[in-house]
Amino acid sequence: MNYFTKDKPYNSLHEYYIKEYGKKVAKISLNCGFTCPNRDGKKGYGGCTYCSKELSGDFAGDKNKSLKEQFDDIKKIMENKWPDTLYMPYFQAGSNTYAPVDYLKKIFEESLTFDKNIVGISIATRGDCINKKIADYLGELNKTTHVQVELGLQSANEKTSDIINRKMTNEELVIAIELLRKHNIEVVLHIINGLPGEDINDMLYTIDFINNLDIQGIKIHSLLVLEDTILADQYKKNPFKILTLDEYVDITVKQICRLRPDIIIHRLAADGNPKDLIEPKWTIKKMVVMNEIDKKLRKDGLYQGIDYKKN
């Protein structure tokens, strides 16, 4: 089954949720104060070069508040935009399985009680923060609610992985996916276009790599150079190529065309905190970016999977 529409010739997350639940589903981004093995010294220090000071949870709740308070604060904002909405607690900041299972069980199951309109839970983490014990627990949880796990790949190019200080191998990611899929848990991968040293061939290779994995969703966005990151220091000392809006749109359209046609596209653009954003400035207008991608697909008669080749 695909979720293509005339305006969006690909599997958009909105259409997927509408077909599955009959309503819009809004994610409520929570900050539980998790760190990461690439920050606390287990694997490295400083984290991935692009990772923000909020550990990619810049728009998540206030970690100084309880999870329930965070949920309620953000829900009020969502209700003003979409009054008739279902919800999904989204553990976004840091690596949200980097803790003992007993603690994960406490916070995940607590979050599911925050509102009667909650339909599932989304958990952002790293492939090397998933082990059999965690996967087995999430599998049990998946029997009672919709569990979605987001894993950061960013690039399938191992050379790029070294450049961005990812400190996780592709093999570790693949093992995590296999552990999760044994329990039929929905897996979503994150990728970034415009990483230092990459060209169009590298970015298309990442799509080819993903096509061979048992994943159900993908998030795509451009590289964001944010203040107070290792990447920002590198850029200020030795500026590297930043994609223009036209280049990003062209690359992303090619990726969509090459992407396996059953995969759900959860995101096509991201916006960093404007006060911290160094480059690219065009990402501030997130809706413009998304609209340009949709317009190019429609104008050229393209759609998700048109160039997909099964290996």
As a three-state string, the secondary structure of the chain is: CCCCCCCCCCCEHHHHHHHHHCCCEEEEEECCCCCCCCCCCCCCCCCCCCCCCCCCCCCCCCCCCCHHHHHHHHHHHHHHHCCCCEEEEEECCCCCCCCCHHHHHHHHHHHCCCCCCECEEEEEECHHHCCHHHHHHHHHHCCCCEEEEEEEEECCCHHHHHHCCCCCCHHHHHHHHHHHHCCCCEEEEEEEECCCCCCHHHHHHHHHHHHCCCCCEEEEEECCEECCCHHHHHHHHCCCCCCCHHHHHHHHHHHHHHCCCCCEEEECCCCCCCCCEEECHHHHCHHHHHHHHHHHHHHCCCCCCCCCCCC
Q: Would residue 2 count as lying in a domain? A: no
- The CA distance from 214 to 211, in Å, is 8
Decide if 160 is inside a domain. Answer: yes
Q: Is 73 inside a domain boundary?
A: yes
Q: Structural domain of residue 131, as residue ranges?
A: 13-299
pLDDT per residue as tens digits for the range 203-213: 999 999 999 99
1 within a domain of the structure (yes/no): no
* pLDDT at res. 57: 46
Is 306 inside any structural domain?
no
Which pLDDT value is given to residue 67? Answer: 94
Q: 311 in a domain, yes or no?
A: no
Contacts 24+ apart (CB under 8 A), 251-254: 251/193, 251/200, 251/203, 252/193, 252/220, 252/293, 253/293, 253/296, 253/297, 253/300, 253/302, 254/200, 254/204, 254/307
CB contact at 8 A, 78 and 25: no
pLDDT attached to residue 286: 93
Quote the number of domains for the chain: 1
pTM: 0.95
Q: Is residue 307 in some structural domain?
A: no
Angle between helices 67-81 and 101-111 (to 10 degrees): 40
Which pLDDT score is estimated for 105?
A: 98
Q: Report the CATH number that the domain containing residue 270 is assigned in CATH.
A: 3.20.20.70
pLDDT by residue (tens digit) across 79-95? Answer: 888 888 999 999 998 89
Residues of the chain with pLDDT under 70: 54-61
The pLDDT value recorded for residue 301 is 98
